[in-house]
């Protein structure tokens, strides 16, 4: 395990696409960051989670949060976008059966900058289909102060290198 | 428990806002529906989950899904929007500590119409703060064929009626 999470973009993209075999237990990855603006927080929430403390600065000021905060769903998908953009799953993603233990620990405020840190918890080859395997990874979303604002565990079905070669 | 989930919009909005006390175990609710267009599916995924089978019809045709499907996150937030819009939590929502057992069971295709069905699993008053309680509800997202496409359990902190009256 490296001292700090490996940045997949440090690898030469022509050299190394990631496949199931690359996700060994304990391996860690980190994404680049994304800053959530007030406009972005309100836009997302107005469409998908229109609760007052996500869309209305005046109402939010008297809410338990004391001000506007991002929808927890927004925090989750903004972080997930950074993971996809990092090309970790570009070659091998075959979808996800689900997530476990989604937890929102701290509020995300306008102007906060988030990145995701991933760690492989388990990796099991499929018994019935040798071209793929199932990986469980913990995703932790971290703000600019180093605080974990949310976390979840994702199951992902990933293609094996041999499966990709047979297909391709 | 009613034969079919109760529609909170059938209640007179001037008469009954929902508070913690209204979420008794076994009580069920259903939302109205939302149709996910191809444009909406691609727009959401391009921003938050840009994998080929969510944004590229040509690539999706040769993916394991055989065609474009909605991001699982999109299915989740579109359904959640319908829940918020239903005014079930308008008076009482104090946020959510998390979700458990998020499961994507069936793909969602362009043109599919989704609604959410909710059932209260547990409801516990806070020991330390009498103005609120914690409710666990199962959310099931159902398509136009009656198939459950995804489900999850949400923990929500809800204000009590007494808490709202004391505040207000």
pLDDT tens, position by position, B40-94: 999 999 999 999 999 999 999 998 899 999 999 999 999 999 999 988 888 898 9
* pLDDT cut 90: percent of chain A above it: 77
Residue A3 pLDDT class (50, 70, 90 cuts): very low
Gap between the Cα atoms of B121 and A7, Å rounded: 41
Q: Given CB atoms, is A93 within the 8 Å cutoff of chain B?
A: yes
The pLDDT of residue A8 is 56
- Could B51 and A104 be called an inter-chain contact, meaning their C-beta atoms sit closer than 8 Å? no
Residue A6 pLDDT class (50, 70, 90 cuts): low
* pLDDT cut 90: percent of chain B above it: 77
Q: At residue B3, does pLDDT exceed 50?
A: no
Q: Please name which of A109, A122, A118, A88 lies closest in space to residue A13, comparing C-alpha atoms.
A: A88
Q: How far does B4 lie from chain A, in Å, by closest CA? A: 25
By CA distance, what is B52's nearest residue in A?
A: A90
Q: Please name which of A98, A81, A83 lies closest in space to residue A154, comparing C-alpha atoms.
A: A98
Residue B112 · residue B35 · CB < 8 Å:
yes
Report the residue from A65, A72, A102 with minimal CB separation from B102. A102
When pLDDT is averaged across residues A4-30 and rounded to a whole number, the result is: 74
ipTM score over 0.85, yes or no? yes
Q: Given CB atoms, is A168 within the 8 Å cutoff of chain B?
A: no
- Could A104 and B95 be called an inter-chain contact, meaning their C-beta atoms sit closer than 8 Å? yes
Q: Please name which of B71, B68, B14 lies closest in space to residue B45, comparing C-alpha atoms.
A: B71
The pLDDT of residue B123 is 97
**Residue A59 with chain B: CB contacts under 8 Å:** none
Average pLDDT, chain B: 91
The pLDDT of residue A113 is 98
Residue A79 pLDDT class (50, 70, 90 cuts): very high
Residue A81 · residue B47 · CB < 8 Å:
yes
The pLDDT of residue A46 is 97
By CA distance, what is A75's nearest residue in B?
A: B48
Q: What angle do CA A46, A143, A91 make, to 5 degrees?
A: 80
- Would you tell me which residues 101-140 of chain B have a C-beta closer than 8 angstroms to some C-beta of chain A? 101-104
Tokens 């496949």 found at: A19
- Could A99 and B99 be called an inter-chain contact, meaning their C-beta atoms sit closer than 8 Å? yes
For the stretch A148-159, pLDDT in tens is 999 999 999 999
**Burial category of B29 from C-beta neighbours within 10 Å (exposed 0-12, middle 13-18, buried 19 and up):** buried
Report the residue from B77, B84, B102 with minimal CB separation from A99. B102
The pLDDT of residue B90 is 86
- Orientation of helix A38-48 relative to helix A72-85, angle to 10°: 110
In sequence order, what DSSP letters do the residues of B55-95 get, joined into one string? Answer: H-HHHHHTSTTSS----HHHHHHHHHHHHHHTTSSTTTB--
| Predicted structure pTM score | 0.91
Q: Dihedral of CA A76/A109/B31/B3: which sign?
A: positive
For the stretch B85-112, pLDDT in tens is 988 888 898 999 999 999 999 999 999 9
Q: B113-125 and B28-30 as β-strands: parallel, antiparallel, unpaired?
A: antiparallel
Q: At residue B6, does pLDDT exceed 60?
A: no
Q: At residue A7, does pLDDT exceed 90?
A: no
By CA distance, what is B158's nearest residue in A?
A: A64
Gap between the Cα atoms of B52 and A123, Å rounded: 23
User: Which distant-in-sequence residues (6+ apart) come within 8 Å of B145 by Cβ?
Assistant: none
- Could A73 and B78 be called an inter-chain contact, meaning their C-beta atoms sit closer than 8 Å? no
For the stretch A40-76, pLDDT in tens is 999 999 999 999 999 999 999 998 899 999 999 999 9
Q: Bigger pLDDT: B110 or A89?
A: B110
DSSP state of A129: -
Least confident of A51-55, A129-133, A161-165: A161-165
- Would you tell me which residues 24-83 of chain B have a C-beta closer than 8 angstroms to some C-beta of chain A? 47-51, 53, 64-65, 72-73, 76-78, 80-81
Least confident of A30-39, A86-95, A120-129, B21-30: A86-95
**Residue A78 with chain B: CB contacts under 8 Å:** 48
Mutate to test the interface with B, among A66, A98, A131, A141 (most CBs of B within 10 A): A98
Report the residue from A48, A84, A98 with minimal CB separation from B51. A84
């Amino acid at each position: 395990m490296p001292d700090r999470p490996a940045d997949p973009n440090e690898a030469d993209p022509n050299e190394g696409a990631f496949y199931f075999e690359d996700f060994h237990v304990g391996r860690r990855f980190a994404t680049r960051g994304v800053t959530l603006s007030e406009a972005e927080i309100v836009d997302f929430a107005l469409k998908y989670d229109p609760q007052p403390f996500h869309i209305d600065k005046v109402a939010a000021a008297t809410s338990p949060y004391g001000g506007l905060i991002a929808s927890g769903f927004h925090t989750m998908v903004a972080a997930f976008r950074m993971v996809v953009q990092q090309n970790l799953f570009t070659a091998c993603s075959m979808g996800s059966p689900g997530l476990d233990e989604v937890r929102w620990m701290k509020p995300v405020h306008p102007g906060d900058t988030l990145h995701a840190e991933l760690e492989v918890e388990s990796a099991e080859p499929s018994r019935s289909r040798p071209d793929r395997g199932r990986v469980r990874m913990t995703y932790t979303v971290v703000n600019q102060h180093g605080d974990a604002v949310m976390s979840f565990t994702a199951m992902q079905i990933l293609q094996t290198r041999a499966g990709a070669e047979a297909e391709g």
